[in-house]
A and B are shown apart, each in its own frame.
Chain A
């Protein structure tokens, strides 16, 4: 008899609440339950909740000082008391010395911080012709595409989770609400709310395609966009133009499987990305592929160029030639 699944069972499984242990059969029943997808989606969406109330730090601090008398308790008062000077007088010299002492301390701290910063230098990953898997200290994993650079700033995983990307990468980020994962790219950044996505920052054009979850994309100009699964964002740094769209024609490099994945992608998109992936030139002239069937291929592990070309030729009425010596893919004919 099939197990009865409650909404809270789904919730317990999603949140991995270790107060509850599910057998394999129970787990299967929950995952197959008709409510699972919608509850999972509601759970993910609810993370977007952001109270509208604006709390002013300045007003808060003023109120704090009215409520709690901290001035009588501070170092300046101690110094004045110790010096035997009436608080109402202006203790210029001591105030000056105090300011100097504070300034000296701050300079000293800044110097120590700077030294520590340089001693604790950033970790830089720089790929040439290979894709690199990077296991981060916080259990996030990043797969860095060829010809890309990722810089992990000092203090990553303890003080912050900020990286700098130049090139293309796939991110699978471990959730941590206290330390949001942030990717800096020129004049923009992406703040991750727990998700999996592809991101590229090449020649001043940033492309973000979301596979799961949500991310927040922000520019230095103060624009901010929340992108959810199934959406794509393109940002051109030079013109500051941002475009968002549903992903209905896209390819995603499924890096973690060392493979490729295409969903409803156009022939031109597939061939262009394949040529980039294998580092082959694409020769294509005089043939339109606009009317061709869209291509969907998933879980292609350890892809081989010849096999992929055969698969494409079996899906679309197209003749392709591959020349390994000159590293070229040629579109010979299209009959769509």
Chain B
């Protein structure tokens, strides 16, 4: 793990190694964080790469007062929320829960997870899109109802409904696991 100040120094000096190190150390972490908000691998990779390019563009005057990791996460999540807003994503509140166990073909590539983690993964990924987005912003980005409503341009009541819906679905899926 290379220290932030060394990476920033390389960037300040326009050394490509700086950006390569950012990829090596933070790319996977940031893609996973953004994927929780936008579950599309291609969009996720595009967005994270765009964040890195913005860093590269302002490399000579880059000043970061928090850890580089925290800075990049915040920038990536903001970028993904901008994307959501720009796309004016339309969600159907009545969207059916997606089929479980849809994609098992790449099981050999999957990280070994505990059974419960696997159940949680499937349950979160089975949530309707808007429900999942609202839930993820609350759970993984610690955003308040007010912040989520502002970011997604929806009412607080909608946030409330989507959170309740997500928790009920997750509880049902986890209960099935515990009973089986």
Contacts and interface: CB of A to CB of B under 8 A. Distances in A.
B155 interface: no
A96 interface: no
Interface stretch (B3-11, B80-88, B90-98): B3-11
Nearest to B67: A159
Given A11-B167, A42-B171, A55 B116 contact: no
B146 A19 contact: yes
A54 B53 CA distance: 21
B67 A179 contact: yes
A47 B136 CA distance: 10
A70 B174 contact: no
A51 B109 CA distance: 12
Q: Is the interface of A mostly helix, strand, loop or mixed?
A: helix
Interface string A143-178: 000000000000000110000000000000000011
Contact of A19 (B27, B32, B144): B144
B101 to A, nearest CB: 12
Contacts of A19: 144-146, 156
B31 A102 contact: no
B71 to A, nearest CB: 10
Q: Is the interface of B mostly helix, strand, loop or mixed?
A: helix
Interface residues of B, number: 62
Given A53-B35, A55-B28, A74 B145 contact: no
27 contacts: A7-B164, A12-B145, A41-B174, A45-B170, A47-B139, A48-B114, A48-B120, A48-B121, A49-B36, A49-B117, A49-B139, A50-B117, A51-B32, A51-B35, A52-B106, A53-B31, A55-B27, A55-B28, A55-B31, A60-B48, A67-B49, A71-B16, A73-B56, A75-B14, A105-B9, A109-B9, A179-B70
Interface of B: 3-6, 9, 13-16, 19-20, 23-24, 27-28, 31-32, 35-36, 39, 41, 44-45, 48-49, 52-53, 56, 67, 69-70, 73, 106, 109-111, 113-114, 116-117, 120-121, 124, 135, 138-140, 142, 144-146, 156, 160-161, 163-164, 167-168, 170-171, 174-175
